[in-house]
Structure 1
């Protein structure tokens, strides 16, 4: 058995153990995890196999599904979960929606102070100027920050330089949170993290076992909140504290489908 087979077998065993949990929380990042990256972030959609697996899990007793993303809540509600059956955390933990638990009073909206609004405007202006310097680069404006995307740049050999310049420009703004990622440099005027989002969901559901999968640097904050009985899955390359790894969203979708089958048998 080669190293890849060892890794696959280890993940399959971990999924089987998770499926037997009394209460299971399946929490997932969106971009690069449930959905492949797209040139236009607005076009991103979960893979059909992943979507089907989540819908099957949502039908099962004592089983919760959550999406924890840097996307704004409006995108998560309209595109990711229009039926309102999932727990949602948007804007890197700054927005929480727990309606699926029947407790709307626990939801947290997003309100920026005047100082944060001014900081966001300054960060946005910096990204706009950087986009003008690098053809094909894009600005993504979020409720708490501005992101500089390089995946669509005309000259991909300049991506690293453009991203480093963006980091240096963001660093001039005090109180701005800066998070480099894969072909993106994100900024935020809010200090929340995905770790806060997953912690809120673990506490709200009383989960005995939590599975979390993510692909980027920001997801590591959530990975670090997992306990010994929980299951972390890194999607793609890069360093991670997760004990398990899959190569792509397609591989994760297959793993989720397997988990759904196992879980269906366990909760009967």
Structure 2
């Protein structure tokens, strides 16, 4: 008997059926933070849910491609996820600018604007509320307010300053869950997902995410559907971000729910 995840839309049900019918040509993608890993106050302390690697180890041999697409550097995601010895996994870091596969890491040179932001952020944040922290990702820098006494107030207080700095340095601002990230423009999770789907000749695509940066991947799935490729949008739900749940075909309860979804897919395809 099938135990595949339950879709609440016809398009999502069609996508799941397409994955079931031709799994060796399917692409299954995931965000990292908030999807495979619980959100924590210190990004450096994030680790994948303990059920993720065993579940992905079951799923990977059954489908064409399993990919993690994250704003983190690819190497950081591999370490935080415990993915180093997970065969059949692709990790696209920095929204697709970096790629890790079979132990090989490909990282481009950062654009000049990143160095300028790195130099100017300390002065801009000199009077920021206590608890505001900067995460240096190499190709991007993220300003986190989660540890401030009033995270949303701190975020809004800094937003115009961060946006002005991004405009001066030619970078883009990526908002997230109590974070504003300054990164090179021209690449997002949707572009990364579409490029990999084309590279692999994917017959169906599923992507699971939780935050605003994942909406670009949802847009990519919508576009692929219009072009004839079935797709499934999965939301790892939270109280902090509701925009994804409103557009998702399948909604699960955070990283534990994502693990359950992976296990159900593996049961159904195995």
Give the structure-2-normalised TM-score. Answer: 0.80
Residue in structure 2 matching 1:95, options 89, 93, 98: 98
For residues 81-100 of structure 1, what are the alpha-carbon distances to aligned partners after superposition, in whole Å with 9 as ceiling and x for unaligned? Answer: 21152111011111123448
**Which blocks of at least 5 consecutive residues in structure 2 are unaligned?**
none
Instruction: Kindly state the Cα deviation for residue 254 of structure 1 after the two structures are TM-superposed.
Output: 1.4
Instruction: Kindly state the Cα deviation for residue 131 of structure 1 after the two structures are TM-superposed.
Output: 6.2
Instruction: Kindly state the Cα deviation for residue 239 of structure 1 after the two structures are TM-superposed.
Output: 2.0
Instruction: Kindly state the Cα deviation for residue 167 of structure 1 after the two structures are TM-superposed.
Output: 3.4
- Structure 2 equivalent of residue 37 of structure 1: 39
Instruction: Kindly state the Cα deviation for residue 238 of structure 1 after the two structures are TM-superposed.
Output: 2.5
Q: Is 1:178 matched with 2:181?
A: no
| Superposition CA RMSD, Å | 2.6
SS state at 2:220 partner: coil
In structure 2, what is the Cα distance between the partners aligned to 1:146 and 1:185?
A: 9
- Structure 2 equivalent of residue 251 of structure 1: 257
Instruction: Kindly state the Cα deviation for residue 15 of structure 1 after the two structures are TM-superposed.
Output: 4.1
SS state at 1:70 partner: coil
In structure 1, what is the Cα distance between the partners aligned to 2:76 and 2:108?
A: 14
Instruction: Kindly state the Cα deviation for residue 49 of structure 1 after the two structures are TM-superposed.
Output: 2.3
8 A contact 1:137–1:151 mirrored in 2: yes
Give the structure-1-normalised TM-score. Answer: 0.81
8 A contact 2:152–2:178 mirrored in 1: no
Q: Is 1:238 matched with 2:238?
A: no
Instruction: Kindly state the Cα deviation for residue 43 of structure 1 after the two structures are TM-superposed.
Output: 1.5
Instruction: Kindly state the Cα deviation for residue 230 of structure 1 after the two structures are TM-superposed.
Output: 1.1
In structure 1, what is the Cα distance between the partners aligned to 2:249 and 2:37?
A: 22
8 A contact 2:18–2:204 mirrored in 1: no
**Closer, same or farther: CA 133–98 of 1 in aligned 2, 3 Å:** same
8 A contact 1:177–1:190 mirrored in 2: yes
Residue in structure 2 matching 1:51, options 50, 53, 65: 53
In structure 2, what is the Cα distance between the partners aligned to 1:157 and 1:224?
A: 26
Instruction: Report the count of equivalent residues.
Output: 248
8 A contact 1:166–1:185 mirrored in 2: no
- Structure 2 equivalent of residue 4 of structure 1: none
In structure 1, what is the Cα distance between the partners aligned to 2:263 and 2:127?
A: 43
Instruction: Kindly state the Cα deviation for residue 214 of structure 1 after the two structures are TM-superposed.
Output: 0.9
In structure 2, what is the Cα distance between the partners aligned to 1:131 and 1:50?
A: 39
